[in-house]
C-alpha cells in the first residue's frame, strides 16, 4: 500500500508514523536520532581551489594548440616565438581565473539562510536549541518573525501566515492550517498544512512537528538539484571549440604538405623544412585570438556593469547576444514583490486608488488603518505585506496615520483565522461608545453586513447593492487583484464575551480595497523590445493561474485571447518529456510550478535548439538558473542562492536591464566575429604567401617576420575591433541561435576571398620587385623583394582592419574615424611595423633592407587596393542580399 503524502494524513497519523507526540521527543530520543540521521544542515559544496581554476583554463583546444606550437618553437630554437605565445596563453588564463574567482556558492548560501536557533518542546518543556540539532519528530513552536528551521507538519495554528516566495514564487504570504488536505499531487504552494525550511513567519503562531531535516527538506532537495546540475556550454565556448578543431586540422595538413613537398623536391634539408613548417604553423595560428576574445568580453563586462548588469562568468556576456528565450520568474522580477493598493470601491463606485479622495473622517480609511497589525519602525513598515500596503497607501496620501492611531487606541481584538477569514479590533470613541473595525474576505464579511455607508449616510443594504459588491469583487479577482472588504459598527460597550457572534454581526459595509503585486513600470517596454529583437519572453511563477495570466497580459507577454498559452504545474506533470518538447512553443505562461518544472521548461527549449536565459530571485529558481544557458539573478531582492547559481546579476533588479545586456551581448559577438574574420583572413594570407613562396622556390619570409607581423597586426587592431560601436539595427535582427557560429553570415566566404586577396597582393609585390629590381645585385634584389613582401603583408593587414569594421557595411557609411581607440591602434601598429625597416640596427635583426620612396609607394598601393577591392565586393553583396546592410 502506498503511503499517503503528509498533507493528507491526520496529526495523529503523523505522530504515530514519526513515533512522537504533542509533548515532543525526549532528550535521549532526540540525541539518538541526531546521531543516526545527522544534523539538520545542507551539504557543503566542494570548493575549487585557485590552482584548480587556473589549470582549468588550459583545457581549451585552442590553448592546447598554442602550447604545442610554443613547445615546437622552443625545441627548434625559436625562443622569441615560444615566449610570446606562452605570454599570450598565460594572460588569457589569468583573465579567466580573475573573472571566475567567485566560484559556485549557491549551496553554501542556502545554508546561510537557515535559522540559527529553534524553539522546541522536549520532555514536555519548551527549550531553545540550535537549528542544526533538530531531528524528525521534534515539536517546534513558531511565531511572527521566525525563520522556519525545518520542514514541519503543522499541528496547532493560530492565524499563521508564512512568506514562501523564495521557495514557491507565491507573491503574498500563505495562510496556513492544520487541517487534512484532500487534493492529490498538490504543489508546494498548495500544501497549506506544511511549513518549509527557510521560509519566514509573517503573522500569527503555530506548533508543528518536524517531518524532514537537512538534505531531505524541500530546500535540501533544491540543493541536491544544484549539486547534480551539469554546467552548460555557452555558444561562445562551443564556437571556440569548433574553431580550434578546424584550425588544428588546417595547421597539421598545411605543415605536413609543405614539409613533405619540400623534402620531395630536395630544395632544403630536414631542419630547414621543419623551420618552414613552424613558420606556417605560426602563420596559421591566431596567437592573439584567445586574449582578444577574453579582453573583448572583459571590456563588455565593464560596460555592462556601468549599466547595472554584473557578469560573474565571461562567456555569459556573449551568450546573452544569442538568447532566443527569456524565461522569467514573476514575483520580484517582473513584479515589485510589494503589495500595492490599486482599486477602491466606496460609495457604490469603483475608482483607481490614486483617484480616491481619502479623508480622515471616511469610515473606510479609518477601518483600513485600525483593523491592522502593521508596525511603524524607524526604517519603514513591518508586518504582513497586505496590511502594510494599506498603511503605505494612507501614508502616500498624507493621511494622519499616527494621529488616528493615537486618537483611537486598540482596546480589544479578535485575531484573524483561516476559518472565518476576518479580523476585528475595538477602539474607544470620544462620546464613550466603541468602534468595531472589521476586515476580511468579501464573501464572508458580506454575510454579516446589514447596512451600508454611502458618503456618511447609513441605510439598509439592498439585494442590488449586495450583487454590485459581489460582482465588483469577482471582476477584480479575475484581474488577479486581491480584494479585502471593510465594515464597522458602533456599540455602547466592548462586547462580552468578545467573539464572532457578539462583535462581527450587524455590520455596516464601508468598502472594498483591491491590491496587487504590481508589475515593474519598465517591464512592459522591455518585453516589447525583447519581442522586437526576436526574443520570446515567457513567465514562470508559483502563483495561481489567474494571477499569472493577468500579470502576463498587463506586460504584453500574452493577449487576453491567449488563454490556452497558460499551463499549470499539474498540467505539465501530465505531459511526458517528448510531448512537452513538441508543444513547448504553445505556452508563454507557467503557473503553480515547482523547481523541477522550471528545469523541465528550460531543458525543453534547449532541446529545441534554443538558447535560454532564465531570470529569478528565489531559492526555487536556483536549479533552473543553473540549468539555463545563462542564469540571471536579482541583486537587490534576490537570495544569495539565486545569485550564486547565476551567470549574471542585475544590480538594479530591473528587467529592462536584461534587454540592455542582450544588446551588449550582441555587440560583443558581432565585434568578436569581426576580429575573427580579420585575424583568420590575415593568417590565411600569410599561409598562402609562405606556401606559394615555398612551392615557387622563392626566398621565404622567416618565422621572425611572421611573428612580428602577427604581434603588430593581431593585437592592437584586433582588440580595437572588439570595441567598435553598436551597429545600426542590431536589435532589430532575430537571434542568431545555437546553430550559428563565428563563420555564419558570410564570414567564412569573407575569410577565404580576403585571405587569398592578401596573399595574391603580397606575392604580386614580391614578383614585381624581383622582375623589376632597383639594384643590379641579385642578392640585394632578393633582399629588397623580401623586405617589400614583409612590409606589404603587414600594411595590407592594417588596411584590411578598416574593411573589418563591418562584415558587409561600407567603410564610408560606417565612419572611418568613429572609434578613436581603433585609429590610434592603427597608427601605433604602423609605427612598429615601419621601424623594423627604417630604424638602423633593427633592419639587421629582422634581415630587411631600407626601401626607396618608390618601393614604399608600391607597398602603399597594394594596401590601398585591399580596401578598394573589398569595398567593391561588399557593394555587390549588399545588392544581392539587401538584408545584410548593417548600418
Q: Domain with 562 in it: what CATH number?
A: 3.40.50.1000
Q: Determine contact, residues 669/322, Cβ cutoff 8 Å.
A: yes
CA–CA dist 124, 120 (Å, integer)? 9
**214 within some domain:** yes
**411 within some domain:** yes
Does residue 549 share a domain with residue 472?
no
| Phi, psi dihedrals of residue 127, rounded to the nearest 5° | -130, 160
**65 within some domain:** no
Question: What does the pLDDT read at residue 166?
Answer: 65
**640 within some domain:** yes
- Separation in Å, CA 122 to CA 137, 148, 167, 650, 845: 10, 18, 29, 45, 87
CA–CA dist 548, 326 (Å, integer)? 16
Per-residue model confidence as pLDDT tens digits over 440-479: 999 999 999 999 999 889 999 999 999 999 999 999 988 8
Instruction: Write out the DSSP string of 816-841.
Output: TTS-HHHHHHHHHHHHHHHHHHHSTT
Question: What does the pLDDT read at residue 106?
Answer: 37
Note down the domain range covering 13.
6-44+108-223
13 a catalytic residue: no
Does residue 324 share a domain with residue 300?
no
CA–CA dist 225, 628 (Å, integer)? 13
**80 within some domain:** no
Question: What does the pLDDT read at residue 85?
Answer: 64
**53 within some domain:** no
| CATH number of the domain where residue 263 is located | 1.20.1110.10
Q: Determine contact, residues 337/637, Cβ cutoff 8 Å.
A: yes
Per-residue model confidence as pLDDT tens digits over 242-288: 666 676 677 777 777 777 777 776 656 676 676 667 666 666 767 66
| Phi, psi dihedrals of residue 384, rounded to the nearest 5° | -65, 135
- Separation in Å, CA 148 to CA 111, 164, 225, 885: 13, 10, 21, 59
Does residue 849 share a domain with residue 821?
yes
Question: What does the pLDDT read at residue 7?
Answer: 87
Which of 60, 132, 329, 621 does the annotation list as catalytic?
329
Does residue 39 share a domain with residue 131?
yes
Question: What does the pLDDT read at residue 777?
Answer: 72
| CATH number of the domain where residue 402 is located | 3.40.1110.10
Q: Determine contact, residues 440/423, Cβ cutoff 8 Å.
A: yes
Does residue 485 share a domain with residue 361?
yes
CA-based radius of gyration for the chain: 36
Does residue 718 share a domain with residue 630?
no
Question: Which residues, 6 or more positions from 471, have their beta carbon under 8 angstroms from its beta carbon?
Answer: none
Domain endpoint, select from 621, 653, 685: 653
Does residue 142 share a domain with residue 265?
no
Does residue 477 share a domain with residue 362?
yes
Question: What does the pLDDT read at residue 311?
Answer: 79
Does residue 695 share a domain with residue 809?
yes
Kindly state the helix (H) or strand (E) to which residue 484 belongs, with its residue range. Answer: strand 482-491
Question: What does the pLDDT read at residue 338?
Answer: 83
**55 within some domain:** no
Q: Determine contact, residues 484/512, Cβ cutoff 8 Å.
A: yes
The low-confidence residues of the chain, meaning pLDDT below 50, are: 1-2, 99, 101-115, 884-887
Question: What does the pLDDT read at residue 419?
Answer: 78
CA–CA dist 538, 326 (Å, integer)? 6
489-503 burial, b at 16+ Cβ within 10 Å, e below that, comes to beeeeebeeeeeeeb
Does residue 624 share a domain with residue 669?
no
Per-residue model confidence as pLDDT tens digits over 694-733: 778 787 777 677 778 877 887 788 888 888 887 777 787 8
Does residue 510 share a domain with residue 455?
yes
Closest CA to 885 of 722, 727, 681: 727
Question: What does the pLDDT read at residue 151?
Answer: 92
* Domains contained in the chain, number: 4
**103 within some domain:** no
Three cell numbers, residue 5: 503524502
Q: Determine contact, residues 246/748, Cβ cutoff 8 Å.
A: no
| CATH number of the domain where residue 137 is located | 2.70.150.10
Question: What does the pLDDT read at residue 652?
Answer: 79
- Omega before residue 497 within 30° of 0, cis: yes
Does residue 426 share a domain with residue 354?
yes
Domain endpoint, select from 637, 653, 669: 653
| Phi, psi dihedrals of residue 410, rounded to the nearest 5° | -80, 130
Q: Determine contact, residues 608/586, Cβ cutoff 8 Å.
A: no
Domain endpoint, select from 463, 497, 514: 514
Residue 727's region, left for phi above 0, alpha for psi from -120 to 50, else beta, is beta
Amino acid at each position: 500500500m502506498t503511503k499517503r503524502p503528509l498533507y493528507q494524513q491526520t496529526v495523529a497519523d503523523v505522530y504515530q508514523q514519526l513515533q512522537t507526540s504533542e509533548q515532543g521527543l525526549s532528550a535521549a530520543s532526540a540525541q539518538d536520532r541526531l546521531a543516526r540521521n545527522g544534523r539538520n544542515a545542507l551539504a557543503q559544496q566542494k570548493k575549487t581551489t585557485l590552482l584548480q581554476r587556473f589549470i582549468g583554463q588550459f583545457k581549451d583546444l585552442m590553448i592546447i594548440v598554442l602550447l604545442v606550437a610554443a613547445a615546437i618553437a622552443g625545441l627548434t630554437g625559436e625562443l622569441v616565438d615560444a615566449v610570446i605565445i606562452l605570454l599570450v596563453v598565460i594572460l588569457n588564463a589569468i583573465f579567466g581565473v580573475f573573472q571566475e574567482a567567485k566560484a559556485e556558492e549557491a549551496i553554501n548560501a542556502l545554508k546561510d539562510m537557515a535559522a540559527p536557533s529553534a524553539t522546541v518542546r522536549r520532555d514536555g518543556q519548551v527549550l531553545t536549541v540550535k537549528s542544526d540539532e533538530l531531528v524528525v519528530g521534534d515539536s517546534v513552536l513558531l511565531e511572527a518573525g521566525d525563520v522556519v528551521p525545518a520542514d514541519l507538519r503543522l499541528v496547532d495554528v493560530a492565524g499563521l501566515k508564512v512568506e514562501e516566495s523564495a521557495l514557491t514564487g507565491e507573491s503574498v504570504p500563505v495562510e496556513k492550517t492544520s487541517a487534512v488536505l484532500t487534493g492529490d499531487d498538490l504543489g508546494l504552494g498548495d500544501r497549506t498544512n506544511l511549513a518549509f525550511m527557510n521560509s519566514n513567519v509573517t503573522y500569527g503562531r503555530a506548533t508543528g512537528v518536524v517531518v524532514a531535516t537537512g538534505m531531505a527538506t524541500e530546500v535540501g532537495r533544491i540543493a541536491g538539484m544544484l549539486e547534480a546540475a551539469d554546467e552548460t556550454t555557452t555558444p561562445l565556448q562551443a564556437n571556440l571549440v569548433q574553431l580550434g578543431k578546424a584550425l588544428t586540422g588546417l595547421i597539421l595538413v598545411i605543415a605536413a604538405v609543405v614539409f613533405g613537398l619540400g623534402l620531395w623536391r630536395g630544395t632544403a634539408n630536414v631542419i630547414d623544412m621543419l623551420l618552414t613548417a613552424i613558420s606556417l604553423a605560426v602563420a596559421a595560428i591566431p596567437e592573439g585570438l584567445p586574449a582578444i576574445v577574453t579582453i573583448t568580453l572583459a571590456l563588455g563586462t565593464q560596460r555592462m556593469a556601468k549599466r547595472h548588469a554584473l557578469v560573474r562568468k565571461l562567456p555569459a556576456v556573449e551568450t546573452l547576444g544569442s538568447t532566443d528565450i527569456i524565461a522569467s520568474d514573476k514575483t520580484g522580477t517582473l513584479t515589485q514583490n510589494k503589495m500595492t493598493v490599486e482599486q477602491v470601491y466606496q460609495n457604490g463606485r469603483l475608482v483607481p486608488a490614486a483617484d480616491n479622495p481619502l479623508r480622515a473622517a471616511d469610515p473606510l480609511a479609518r477601518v483600513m488603518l485600525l483593523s491592522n497589525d502593521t508596525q511603524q519602525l524607524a526604517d519603514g513598515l513591518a508586518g504582513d505585506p497586505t496590511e502594510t500596503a494599506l498603511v503605505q497607501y494612507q501614508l502616500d496620501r498624507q493621511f494622519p496615520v499616527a494621529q488616528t492611531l493615537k486618537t483611537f487606541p486598540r482596546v480589544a481584538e479578535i485575531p484573524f483565522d483561516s476559518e472565518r477569514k476576518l479580523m476585528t479590533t475595538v477602539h474607544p470613541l470620544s462620546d464613550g461608545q466603541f468602534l468595531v473595525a472589521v476586515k476580511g474576505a468579501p464573501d464572508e464579511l458580506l454575510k454579516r453586513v446589514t447596512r451600508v455607508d454611502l458618503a456618511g449616510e447609513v441605510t439598509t443594504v439592498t439585494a442590488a447593492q449586495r450583487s454590485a459588491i459581489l460582482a465588483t469583487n469577482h471582476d477584480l479577482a479575475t484581474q488577479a487583484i486581491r480584494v479585502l472588504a471593510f465594515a464597522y459598527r458602533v456599540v455602547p460597550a466592548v462586547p462580552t464575551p468578545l467573539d464572532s457572534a457578539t462583535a462581527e454581526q450587524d455590520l455596516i459595509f464601508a468598502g472594498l480595497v483591491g491590491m496587487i503585486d504590481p508589475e515593474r513600470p519598465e517591464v512592459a517596454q522591455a518585453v516589447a523590445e525583447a519581442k522586437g529583437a526576436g526574443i520570446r519572453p515567457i513567465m514562470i511563477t508559483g502563483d495561481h493561474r489567474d494571477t499569472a495570466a493577468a500579470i502576463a497580459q498587463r506586460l504584453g507577454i500574452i493577449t487576453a485571447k491567449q488563454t490556452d498559452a497558460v499551463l499549470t504545474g499539474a498540467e505539465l506533470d501530465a505531459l511526458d518529456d517528448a510531448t512537452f518538447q513538441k508543444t513547448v512553443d504553445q505556452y508563454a505562461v507557467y503557473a503553480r510550478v515547482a523547481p523541477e518544472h522550471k528545469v523541465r521548461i528550460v531543458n525543453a527549449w534547449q532541446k529545441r535548439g534554443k538558447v535560454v536565459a532564465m531570470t529569478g530571485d528565489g531559492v526555487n529558481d536556483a536549479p533552473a538558473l543553473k540549468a539555463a544557458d545563462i542564469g540571471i539573478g536579482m541583486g537587490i531582492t534576490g537570495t544569495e542562492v539565486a545569485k550564486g547559481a547565476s551567470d549574471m546579476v542585475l544590480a538594479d533588479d530591473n528587467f529592462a536591464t536584461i534587454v540592455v545586456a542582450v544588446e551588449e551581448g550582441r555587440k560583443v559577438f558581432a565585434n568578436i566575429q569581426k576580429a575573427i574574420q580579420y585575424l583568420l583572413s590575415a593568417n590565411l594570407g600569410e599561409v598562402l604567401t609562405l606556401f606559394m613562396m615555398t612551392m615557387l622556390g622563392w626566398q621565404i619570409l622567416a618565422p621572425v617576420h611572421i611573428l612580428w607581423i602577427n604581434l603588430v597586426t593581431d593585437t592592437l587592431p584586433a582588440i580595437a575591433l572588439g570595441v567598435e560601436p553598436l551597429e545600426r539595427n542590431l536589435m532589430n535582427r532575430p537571434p542568431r541561435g545555437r546553430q550559428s557560429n563565428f563563420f555564419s553570415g558570410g564570414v567564412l566566404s569573407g575569410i577565404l576571398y580576403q585571405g587569398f586577396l592578401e596573399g595574391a597582393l603580397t606575392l604580386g609585390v614580391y614578383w614585381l620587385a624581383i622582375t623589376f629590381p632597383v639594384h643590379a645585385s641579385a642578392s640585394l634584389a632578393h633582399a629588397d623583394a623580401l623586405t617589400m613582401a614583409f612590409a606589404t603583408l603587414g600594411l595590407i593587414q592594417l588596411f584590411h582592419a578598416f574593411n573589418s569594421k563591418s562584415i558587409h557595411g561600407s567603410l564610408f557609411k560606417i565612419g572611418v574615424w568613429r572609434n578613436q581607440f581603433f585609429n590610434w591602434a592603427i597608427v601605433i601598429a604602423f609605427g612598429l611595423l615601419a621601424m623594423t625597416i627604417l630604424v638602423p640596427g633593427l633592419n639587421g635583426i629582422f634581415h630587411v633592407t631600407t626601401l626607396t620612396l618608390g618601393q614604399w609607394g608600391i607597398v602603399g598601393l597594394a594596401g590601398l587596393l585591399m580596401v578598394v577591392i573589398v569595398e567593391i565586393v561588399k557593394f555587390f553583396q549588399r545588392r544581392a542580399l539587401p538584408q545584410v546592410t548593417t548600418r
